[in-house]
Amino acid sequence: MPTIDIDGRGKTVEEAVQDMWARIIPLEEKGYHAVSSVEVIDVKSKTVLKTFQLTDREWAGLKQSASKAATKKSAEQEHRPPTPHEYPFKARVRLEA
């Protein structure tokens, strides 16, 4: 089965998790599901700051606001890779179809 890694990026941990949710939502609709826990990474030091499951209540609450932001973001912005220190935090999860 194909697996893909999703990275959400942000200037805060919450922003990175919200961006990750915005990227996951369309993939969940296509049948993908998480096969790993979420790791929040400090980009500069490359250390894992937090690890949690997608079902964790503290972080799952960001999913609703992410779905609203995703539709607005896709209409406003074209995709481009971030520059190395543009975002200090990254939220990474692995999905499988």
Exposed / middle / buried, residue 60 (Cβ in 10 Å: 0-12, 13-18, 19+): middle
User: DSSP state, 29?
Assistant: H
Domain count, the chain: 1
Task: Report residue 81 as tokens.
Answer: 């890779």
Give per-residue pLDDT as tens, 35-67. Answer: 989 999 999 999 999 999 888 877 776 776 666
pTM: predicted TM-score of the whole model, two decimal places:
0.78
* Domain carrying residue 26: 3-96
Closest of 37, 31, 6, 30 to residue 20, by C-alpha = 6
Residue 94, pLDDT above cutoff 60? yes
Residue 76, pLDDT above cutoff 60? no
